[in-house]
Amino acid sequence: MSQSFQLKEQFSVARPIEQVFDYLADFSQIVDWDPSVFSAKKISQGAIKQGSQFDLIIKSAGRKLPMAYELIDYQPYHSLTFLGKAEGFTATDRIVLKAQNDHTHITWQADLEFTGVLQYLIPVMRRSLQQLGQNSMRGLEQALNDNYPVPIAASESLKQKLVLPALWPFTKYGYLQAQKNWHPVSASIKNKHVVITGTSSGLGLAAAKSLAAKGADLTLVMRNANKAKSIQASLIKETGNPHIHIELADLSLMTDVLALSQRLIKNAKPIDVLINNAGALFNPRQQTKEGLEQSFALLLLSPFILTEQLKPLLIKGSRVINVLSGGMYSQKIDVDDLENKGGAYSGSVAYAKAKRGLMITTEQWANTWQAAGICVHAMHPGWAETTGVISALPEFYRLTKPLLRSPEQGADTIVWLATATEAGKCTGLFWLDRQPQATHLLAKTQETAQQREQLRLSLLSYQQRFMAVPQ
């Protein structure tokens, strides 16, 4: 014995039917717009198709209730049917799409079947179920309309200047708090060309997985050929996305950076998103085979030369994302000693100074390239548990392990900056958890206009030096 209940809603949005279909087919994204869903994730491997499976946690009468969904009917750019099962009820969600000029009309019908005790509560639950359905559809409509405001840039505040309150947002708890205020991201990155450096582990790999699942055309830059091939095969299998390409380069060597740039230029494929993520922390001071201090080479000079060289492939609407560190707040760029030759060497200080330099460069590119429609942003991931942190900062890792974010949480803002419509409406900002942040918290880290210009000229001089070397 059972009792049934039906919900039906219709509305139209100004989006191509292909984008609407792809967004709705990934049922894991329901968590962004349905207030009754606590979490959702795709658990089956491969591309989304009939038979794809999703695990949801829904909010029910103050409880968190697990619910398993399967995509039982998949008709590209026409209809989708999901079957959900939970304790005491099932839900069959059928979505029908119809193109109307430049709009898409959406009909969503949910048939709920209740058993056991729940069937007797239908008369009491009817109004609340109808309200839940309407709220869900309004959330979906807003998500698909994708007309959210650009987040307001943060200013320096007393709270930010106090050590403990300022650091708390770096933790996983800061991430979870920030997440409560996020808007859905329905913008499509399918088939857009994304180049990411440093994707063998950590933030880069997490970002690559997310972007691959969204259908991006990925070029992943790594050093180790065997690991690169393994990651490529794994991502294709996991996401069903065949457009995952590998480029091999040691980005601490400027000859490799220039050779990589030349290969990409020769390929002539426009770059929609360039993510400068490659990085490491070195202790003690080390020099590359080219005679450069390793932190400066990998963290500042390398992304500078790579981005400058790839500028011809950046088109109107392209985005450059530089991955920095919150440690930047503690240091000022030393334009007279970019290679950290003077005084006692600290790997963490050299790292922070290089990231400070890349922040300055981010702002310079943003100003110069804004007229061409190219957005340039920087972000930092907070405190994330990566192999780099574990190996390079063992004491920090020991003390902060319970507070550390997952690589996926740390990489979230990278993916958001690459995808979200709002991120393409501004430029030259420094982000944490999808929110612009102040670039300086201390007066002592503030550089002069002359120092900023000197940094630019010095980096250009290094670039010219290596370009003069026969490849």
Q: Assign residue 35 the CATH number of its domain.
A: 3.30.530.20
Instruction: For the full predicted model, state whether its pTM sits above 0.85.
Output: yes
- Does the pLDDT value for residue 294 go beyond 70? yes
Task: Share the mean pLDDT of the chain.
Answer: 93
Asked if residue 335 is part of any domain, the answer here is yes
Tell me 300's DSSP state: I
Q: What are the strands, taking DSSP E only, across 43-192?
A: 53-60, 63-75, 79-86, 89-100, 103-115
Query: Which of 190, 192, 361, 204 has the alpha carbon at shortest distance from 276?
Result: 204
Q: What is the DSSP letter of 201?
A: S
pLDDT: which is higher, 374 or 120: 374
Q: What is the DSSP letter of 298?
A: I
What's the whole-number mean pLDDT along residues 158-163? 46
Of the listed ranges 96-105, 170-179, 319-328, 381-390, the least confidently predicted one is 381-390
Neighbours of 253 (CB within 10 A): 19
Residue of higher predicted confidence among 404 and 395: 404
Q: Are residues 360 and 431 in the same domain?
A: yes
Query: What is the DSSP annotation of 215-238?
Result: T-EEEEEES-HHHHHHHHHHHHHH
Nearest Cα to Cα of residue 361 among 261, 451, 255: 451
**What pLDDT does 1 receive?**
61
Asked if the structure places residue 349 within a domain, the reply is: yes
Pick the last residue of a domain from 145, 174, 201: 145
How many C-beta atoms surround the C-beta of residue 419 within 10 A? 22
For the chain, percent of residues with pLDDT exceeding 90: 82
Check residue 125 and give its pLDDT: 66
- Euclidean distance between CA atoms 18 and 5, whole angstroms: 30
**Which residues share a beta bridge with 409?**
none
My answer on whether 401 and 337 are in the same domain is yes
Residue 286 forms part of a structural domain: yes
DSSP H helical ranges for 31-171: 122-145, 158-161, 163-167
153 located within any domain? no
Indicate whether 18 belongs to any domain.
yes
Domain count, the chain: 2
Mean pLDDT of 203-222: 98
Whether residues 116 and 214 fall in one domain = no
Together in a domain, 172 and 132: no
Residue 44 half-sphere exposure toward CB, CA atoms < 13 A: 16
Per the domain annotation, does 51 fall within a domain? yes
**Which of 80, 115, 145 lies at the terminal end of a domain, its last residue?**
145
Distances (CA, A) of 425 to 92, 207, 418: 38, 21, 12
Report strand pairing: 271-276 vs 375-379.
unpaired
How far apart are alpha carbons 251 and 126 in whole angstroms?
61
Residue 160 has pLDDT above 60, yes or no: no
* The predicted structure's pLDDT at residue 162: 45
180 and 136 within one domain: no
Tell me the residue range of the domain where 222 lies: 158-467
pLDDT tens digit sequence for 75-108: 999 999 999 999 888 999 999 999 998 999 999 9
326 and 456 assigned to the same domain: yes
CB 58 within 8 A of CB 129: no
Task: Return the DSSP state at 180.
Answer: T
Asked if residue 382 lies in contact with residue 405, where contact means CB atoms within 8 angstroms, the answer is: yes
Same domain, 185 and 327: yes
SS3 sequence of 371-398: HHCCEEEEECCCCECCHHHHHHCHHHHH
Residue 418 pLDDT: 98
Output DSSP code: residue 281: -
Kindly state whether residues 229 and 340 are assigned to the same domain: yes
Query: For residue 219, what pLDDT is reported?
Result: 98
Burial (CB count within 10 angstroms: exposed 0-12, middle 13-18, buried 19+), residue 405: buried
CB-neighbour burial class of residue 284 (10 A; exposed 0-12, middle 13-18, buried 19+): exposed
pLDDT tier at 237, thresholds 50, 70, 90: very high
**Same domain flag for 329 and 443:** yes
406: left (phi over 0), alpha (psi -120 to 50) or beta: beta
Residues recognised as catalytic: 351
In a domain? residue 150? no
Task: Quickly tell me which residue has 């950290």 as its tokens.
Answer: 340
pLDDT at residue 185 greater than cutoff 80? yes
Calpha distance 268→359 (Å, rounded): 28
Coil, helix or strand at residue 448: coil
From CA 58, how far away is CA 37, in angstroms rounded?
4
Q: Which of 245, 204, 248 is nearest to 222 (CA)?
A: 248
pLDDT at 33: 96
410 and 442, same domain (yes or no): yes
140 shares its domain with 165: no
Are 105 and 212 contained in the same domain?
Answer: no
Residue 361, domain member (yes or no) = yes
pLDDT at 24 over 90: yes
Residues 69 and 83 sit within 8 Å (Cβ to Cβ):
yes
Q: Which pair of tokens denotes residue 420? A: 């979200």
Q: CATH number of the domain at 378, please.
A: 3.40.50.720
- Asked if 375 contacts 319 with a C-beta cutoff of 8 angstroms, the reply is yes
Output the pLDDT for position 471. Answer: 61
Find out whether 273 and 210 touch, Cβ atoms under 8 Å: no
pLDDT of residue 159: 45
Distance CA 89, CA 68 (A): 11
Last residue of a domain, one of 87, 114, 145: 145
**pLDDT of res. 206:** 97
